[in-house]
Structure 1
Amino acid sequence: MKPLLLLDVDGVLNPMGRPAPDFRRYRCTIDDQVYTVHLNPRHGRRLLDLALATGSELVWATTWGQHANEWIAPRIGLPSLPVIPVSPDGASEHGELFKTPHVARYVGRRPFVWFDDQVWAEDEEYLRVHQGLADFLLVHVDPLRGLTSRHLGMAHDWLTLTGFSQGS
């Protein structure tokens, strides 16, 4: 089974702080709501390279849902990706992020790396005690800066050094 690379959008691909010069500004309209996002078109290539090098599968783990395939993927050069259905309505059991139980259900026994700006110790604890989960790496991304080479390197090293990588 291929390992998974789980991607959040806001705070990861769309930083909340002042974007670096290599980011481009886009306006997206979803259900009559206009959003401004800042995206780095090189992120797509770098994520695809990581997936190829490690034999992993890219998956959206974002409240953008399928809208990530419509608005985000084409602007950074990603194909349409599977989407983990998440709903912000669920109550936290142990202080974990509302997405964490959805992620746990989706990943099953597959190892995964999760890039998110809102994953913390409570999420790791929740996932570690969840029955049947494979090993994983939570990569906390600074929401002001977004995804960096260091984050991608952490994922690559973890997948290859732990033996989960199918591409090395």
Structure 2
Amino acid sequence: MTNYLFLDIDGVLNAVGALLDDVRNHQAWPDYELVTGERWGETVSPQMITELNHILNSHEVQLVWLTTWERAAPAFGHKIGIDRALDAPWLSVEDAHGEWGKLVSVRAFLTQHHKRGDKAAWFDDDLASEHDAALWAARQGILAIPPAARHGITPAHLHQLSGHYTR
């Protein structure tokens, strides 16, 4: 049995508004910090990364990058401390035949790799507006969570994720 996690970056790992003064009192994590580098200026919670890594490791989760960052995703994930980020595949997110590209990529990946008993989860802030994708995921038994972009993944989301893999 394999557990999969399809993971977006912006609005999920990168809490795009967490350091704004008007949302500081409503932060999901107490330790957001700006990650800088050659191409990065993103806001990430080290505590969230630690807790995500715990789930990835304790549930033997195969991370799959599903983000417009595409090729740059593994390097960013490594920079912010996600375990095995460099080994995780990334999927293309180009729209195909009028369908949301991320949905097309997830379906194709699972068609090729999914076996009976496997579990999958998908974190993407765009799932809130991509109703066809969210509905499809629910029908497939995929946990689909759309974090709010301003704070990304929350402790409650990680609790749901752990419970999904435990069932």
TM-score (normalizing by structure 2): 0.76
Aligned runs of 1:5-154 on 2, under 5 Å?
A: 5-19=5-19, 22-29=31-38, 34-79=39-84, 80-93=86-99, 97-108=100-111, 109=114, 110-120=118-128, 121-127=131-137, 135-154=141-160
Report which of the two has the higher share of helix: 2
Rounded Cα–Cα distance in structure 1 between residues aligned with 2:137 and 2:82: 31
Q: Describe the shift of the 1:101–1:86 C-alpha distance in structure 2 as closer, same or farther (beyond 3 A).
A: same
Q: For 1:23-42, what per-residue CA distance to the aligned partner results, in whole angstroms no more than 9, with x for missing partners?
A: 2213344xxxx552112223
Q: CA deviation at 1:53?
A: 2.5
**Higher alpha-carbon deviation: 12-21 or 101-110:** 12-21
Structure 2 runs not aligned, ≥5 long = 20-26
Identity of aligned residues (%): 23
Instruction: Look up the equivalent residue of 1:103 and give its one-letter code.
Output: V
Rounded Cα–Cα distance in structure 2 between residues aligned with 1:88 and 1:118: 14
Q: Describe the shift of the 1:86–1:158 C-alpha distance in structure 2 as closer, same or farther (beyond 3 A).
A: same
User: How big is the alpha-carbon RMSD for the aligned residues of Structure 1 and Structure 2?
Assistant: 2.3
Q: Describe the shift of the 1:68–1:156 C-alpha distance in structure 2 as closer, same or farther (beyond 3 A).
A: same
Q: CA deviation at 1:3?
A: 1.2
Instruction: Look up the equivalent residue of 1:142 and give its one-letter code.
Output: A
Rounded Cα–Cα distance in structure 2 between residues aligned with 1:24 and 1:81: 25
